[in-house]
A and B are shown apart, each in its own frame.
Chain A
Amino acid sequence: AQSVTQPDIHITVSEGASLELRCNYSYGATPYLFWYVQSPGQGLQLLLKYFSGDTLVQGIKGFEAEFKRSQSSFNLRKPSVHWSDAAEYFCAVALYGQNFVFGPGTRLSVLP
């Protein structure tokens, strides 16, 4: 069955530290891959997406993600976290023409 996992329910990092949020998927083919961020009381904002080509993709707010086919992973990274990055992060996958499937989310807390 198709699935998306985010192994870390909650991550806490200090401001200025680096960040990596994990995302793994189980699909018969390589899907399109997305990361969304949801700030408290807000909707979802698209951070970045991977369709094909270069496996390292750059997004907004200084985020990047790397697609690794061999590991079925699409991990999100940021070299230096800001307090405003505290939010819920969702990985999502979709095959072309099919519905999105969202991971369970990872809540990020940032310590001053």
Chain B
Amino acid sequence: SAVISQKPSRDICQRGTSLTIQCQVDSQVTMMFWYRQQPGQSLTLIATANQGSEATYESGFVIDKFPISRPNLTFSTLTVSNMSPEDSSIYLCSVDGARDSLYNEQFFGPGTRLTVL
């Protein structure tokens, strides 16, 4: 398994501002994922981030709103841009824990709890 940390753990932000969330892994991983968990809801995949290429966004999510960086195999950032109260959610980073395996499984960071006023 991988140990994943996220910064910040929580934040309260004003409408119209942006927040960058960091995700750090203790080992090199091929794929990193960003999820959103709205209050009382399940997880929705925002995008997949591979090192050295552009992130792949899921339907309903766009790069202008959620720009992602993946500068190396242990780190990624997600920015929530021009925030509105509807962006209040938990944002979770996860990694593919089976880089050299036939199977895929994911391990999650502790999440970043974002409140937009």
Q: Which residue of B lies closest to A41 (CB)?
A: B113
Cα distance A88–B19 in the bound complex, in angstroms: 27
- The residue from B42, B58, B104 contacting A94, defined by CB atoms under 8 A apart: B104
Q: In whole Å, how far is B55's beta carbon from the nearest beta carbon of chain A?
A: 13
- The residue from B92, B103, B104 contacting A44, defined by CB atoms under 8 A apart: B92
Interface of A is mostly: loop
Please state if B42 and A100 are interface contacts (CB–CB under 8 Å): no
Q: In whole Å, how far is B111's beta carbon from the nearest beta carbon of chain A?
A: 5
Cα distance A96–B96 in the bound complex, in angstroms: 12
Which residues of B lie under 8 Å from residue A94 when comparing CB positions? 104
Interface string of A80-112 (1 = CB under 8 A from B): 000000000010001011011011110000000
Is A70's beta carbon under 8 Å from chain B?
no
Q: Which residue of B lies closest to A100 (CB)?
A: B106
Cα distance A41–B107 in the bound complex, in angstroms: 16
- The residue from B43, B102, B105 contacting A102, defined by CB atoms under 8 A apart: B43
Please state if A96 and B108 are interface contacts (CB–CB under 8 Å): no
B residues at A contact (CB < 8 Å): 1, 4, 33, 41-43, 45, 48, 58, 92, 94, 102-111, 113
A residues at B contact (CB < 8 Å): 32, 34, 36, 41-46, 49, 51, 90, 94, 96-97, 99-100, 102-105
Extra 16 A-B pairs, beta carbons < 8 Å, given A32-B104, A42-B111, A96-B102: A32-B105, A42-B110, A43-B92, A43-B110, A44-B92, A44-B94, A44-B108, A45-B108, A46-B1, A46-B107, A49-B105, A90-B42, A96-B104, A99-B45, A100-B45, A104-B42
Shortest 10 CB-CB contacts between residues of A and residues of B: A44-B108, A43-B110, A43-B108, A102-B43, A43-B111, A102-B42, A104-B42, A51-B103, A105-B42, A43-B109
